[in-house]
Amino acid sequence: MRLDWIEDILAVLDNGSLARAAEKRFLTQSAFTRRVRMIEDSIGATLFDRSRKPVALMPGVKALEPEMRRLSMQLRRLKHDLKQTTDPLSSVVSIACQHALTTTLSSKIVGALTAGDRTVRMRSGNRDECLIQLFSGEADIAITYQIPGERTPILAQAFEAHDLGADRLIPVCIPDLEDSTHNGEIPAIGYPSDVFLGQVFDRTIVPRLSNKVVLSPRAETALTLAMIQLVLDGIGVAWLPQSLILDHLAQKRLIKPSLNLPEQELEIKMIRLAEGQSPQNDAIWSLLSNDVLKRKTL
């Protein structure tokens, strides 16, 4: 069983159709359909129920999902370890970084690691995606936000974490929009509820809003850089990591509304697997831990 076959099958399971799975796997639908038939022919079994629209996995195949995910992670980890074993002095360092932190920290990471003649591969994603890449071996280190006091999700005991400082999720808008928020109805730009900052907003910001404040949704995006542009264009108020908008605040392009809206502190954590680290990964971890990426509380 090949790793790419397992990932093709899981792509259909995760995305609900061959068309969406093909897009996720960066293939045309016709090419992905041919590959699916090749997998079935090679295994000698029917994996997909073509009587349904959209095409779905057979119930027996779907029941093997946990086993396929386990194998996928193990094979990815083995592939990663083999690469490091065969060329330990010039291996690629993979860093999975939460979207907003990629913008503010990537240059420091690359600068610190390439000074030792390493190649750095930066991977950007939502927090859960970063941790899954870490666990599967696609990334050596993950850098993510965390709510203070929150335990790291996904098998917390399997990870080692190091504190890199703090950030704050704060409400901002353009100065011209300030007057329109005084009546308590706030045009808002939000995050989807299935991304980390959306979950932070729902859990820590919304419950602390005054009952005199009403959020009127104007737009939604998971990308913080896109959200910054929406705020600058006067679409509404958004809660953004302060580290991303320091220049905009200093130049008064963005301001905090005067409604005393709630804010939320965020911790910045560097995370890796707790066991099975190579000497090279230990050296990288030590280098990045020694104040190279340390941020003061904003």
| pLDDT tens-place string over residues 23-51 | 888 888 888 888 888 888 888 888 888 88
Summarize pLDDT for 235-294 with one digit per residue, the tens.
999 999 999 999 999 999 999 988 789 999 999 999 998 877 777 788 888 888 876 666
Query: What local confidence, expressed as pLDDT, does residue 7 receive?
Result: 87
Examine residue 69 and state whether it is found in any structural domain, yes or no.
no
Run of H or E including 99: helix 99-114
Of the pLDDT bands very low, low, confident and very high (cuts 50, 70, 90), residue 129 is: confident
Instruction: Decide if pLDDT at 115 tops 80.
Output: no
155 with 283, same domain: the answer is: yes
- Beta-carbon contacts of 140 under 8 Å, excluding residues fewer than 6 positions away, are 80, 93, 94, 95, 134, 272, 281, 284
Summarize pLDDT for 201-222 with one digit per residue, the tens.
999 999 999 888 889 999 999 9
177 with 131, same domain: the answer is: no
41 with 129, same domain: the answer is: no
* Domain limit, last residue, from 41, 63, 85: 63
pLDDT: which is higher, 244 or 137: 244
Query: What local confidence, expressed as pLDDT, does residue 88 receive?
Result: 47
Examine residue 108 and state whether it is found in any structural domain, yes or no.
yes
* Cα–Cα distance, 178 to 1 (Å, whole number): 59
* Domain limit, last residue, from 22, 41, 63: 63
- Beta-carbon contacts of 224 under 8 Å, excluding residues fewer than 6 positions away, are 99, 100, 103, 197, 240, 241, 244
271 with 161, same domain: the answer is: yes
129 with 106, same domain: the answer is: yes
Can you read off the two tokens belonging to residue 121? 């591969």
Task: Assign residue 54 the CATH number of its domain.
Answer: 1.10.10.10
Can you read off the two tokens belonging to residue 144? 């993510």
* Cα–Cα distance, 272 to 142 (Å, whole number): 6
160 with 101, same domain: the answer is: yes
159 with 80, same domain: the answer is: yes
Examine residue 118 and state whether it is found in any structural domain, yes or no.
yes
Query: What local confidence, expressed as pLDDT, does residue 23 receive?
Result: 84
199 with 246, same domain: the answer is: yes
Query: What local confidence, expressed as pLDDT, does residue 154 receive?
Result: 47
Examine residue 142 and state whether it is found in any structural domain, yes or no.
yes
Query: What local confidence, expressed as pLDDT, does residue 296 receive?
Result: 53
256 with 273, same domain: the answer is: no
Task: Assign residue 192 the CATH number of its domain.
Answer: 3.40.190.10
Query: What local confidence, expressed as pLDDT, does residue 293 receive?
Result: 63
* Domain limit, last residue, from 24, 40, 63: 63
Query: What local confidence, expressed as pLDDT, does residue 19 receive?
Result: 84
33 with 117, same domain: the answer is: no
Instruction: Decide if pLDDT at 90 tops 50.
Output: no
The domain of 14 spans 3-63
Domain tally for the chain?
Answer: 3
Run of H or E including 273: strand 264-273
19-28, 90-99, 163-172 — which one is most confidently predicted on average? 163-172
259 with 186, same domain: the answer is: yes
